[in-house]
Amino acid sequence: MKRVLKIISIVLALIFLLGGCSDFLNTADNSDNNRITFGDNPVDREHFVSSTVDPKIENSQRFEAIKPLTEREITEACDFIIERIDANLIDFTDKYPSANSENYVYSSTENKGWTEGFWTGMLWLAYEYTQDPKYKSAAAIQCNGFRDRLDKNVALQHHDIGFLYYLSCVKGYEITGMESMKETALLAADKLLERYNEKGKYIQAWGEFGKESEQRLIIDTMMNLELLYWAYNQTGNEDYYNAAYEHAKTTAMVITRTDASTHHTYYINPETGNPSHGVTSQGLSDDSSWSRGHAWGIYGFYKSYKYTDDALFMNEGIKIANYFLNHLPEDFVCYWDLTYIEGDEPRDTSAAAIAASGLLSCSKLYESEYNDLYTYAAHAILRSLIGDYTTKNIEGSNSILCKGVYSKPGNIGVGESLIWGDYYYMEALMKLRGLE
């Protein structure tokens, strides 16, 4: 009898011990789900604290010294944009402007790239500014084209679905209330959601989803998350919100260096989901800050803060905004890479326009000592663009901003107009007119 009782005691002890081990293992598994590893250093996602240092704004007086744009100057700049849109409307209703110009002339293209949404977005801005129904009609036709592209799944294996469908169909739905545009935008959000990698908690930027060589995020994607945040607000489906939020958090954890410069892209280990290393695709080097990507980051962190109220995004946005402002040349229009502050390297007016528009938004939402300076800086950038970087006096041009850089390493669109540069230049000016 004693032997039987002893055996029962041993069995019960083993059951208790194994149960405790199971609880421990489950706890460890849950903890691991909240950790990413840089080399041998595990970082808790839930309690992440950024090591990026705020570089401050080194010479704030240079921005304060620039006279803010007057209402007349803003109106004249807006009217020039409207004149250009009017001249292009016949060519670009069933077709779209090319991503970059040649000799400051956009050619017509089909809806199959990543940039077509910017022109449609300009049409919606033109309608809001003028209330002329011709822009509304043209934009609605283009939104039909975006639905056709989605139904046929034409070249949508990338993260820029946000640029394509937020600026066209979401904006169209907000302005017109047309359910067809809402439906198209939600289907596009579903398409973007397919690129979310649960293991690494990021949206894969390019290429075949899951392909080992393409396991990376890029700073640009921060701008495309707005489509997912919007879809969550429309439907209550938390999958949209969680993918956008987790991607933004992963980006905040890997994309900024300690000095507030930024990587362009960051590879993720496909087996572990852990961040691997940062490289550039468009910048001067893997250790530099590509200007347009950095500008995407300024604006993109603002967008995630707007929708989540997570101070991490505001704080990272402030740091990289200050880095950007510290690396502007004398006339406030950045070079194509922030390594350059003077010299003969090409400027990128598109990066300048993106930053200006982003800074105007940051200045209204952030709880920051820099808000006034961000407004001054945006005015300084826009004043320079208006005065020295438009195509107003270039005969035969159908574009708006000159001296942009699509890809310096690829020698594409260097010293040309870029359709997204035109869009964000217009958007920034419209913000100064009280339109968002």
Which positions are catalytic? 160, 220
> Of how many residues is the chain composed?
436
DSSP 131-188: --HHHHHHHHHHHHHHHHHHHHT-S--STTHHHHHIIIIIHHHHHH--HHHHHHHHHH
Nearest Cα neighbor of 223 from 294, 318, 146, 320 is: 294
Determine whether 411 is exposed, middle or buried from the number of CB atoms within 10 Å of its CB (0-12, 13-18, 19+).
exposed
Tell me the residue type at 273: G
Q: Are 247 and 203 in contact, with CB atoms under 8 Å apart? A: yes
Round to whole Å and give the CA distance between 381 and 379: 5
Round to whole Å and give the CA distance between 190 and 333: 37
Q: Find residue 41's DSSP bridge partners.
A: 38
Residue spans of alpha helices (H) in 236-370? 238-254, 291-308, 311-326, 349-365
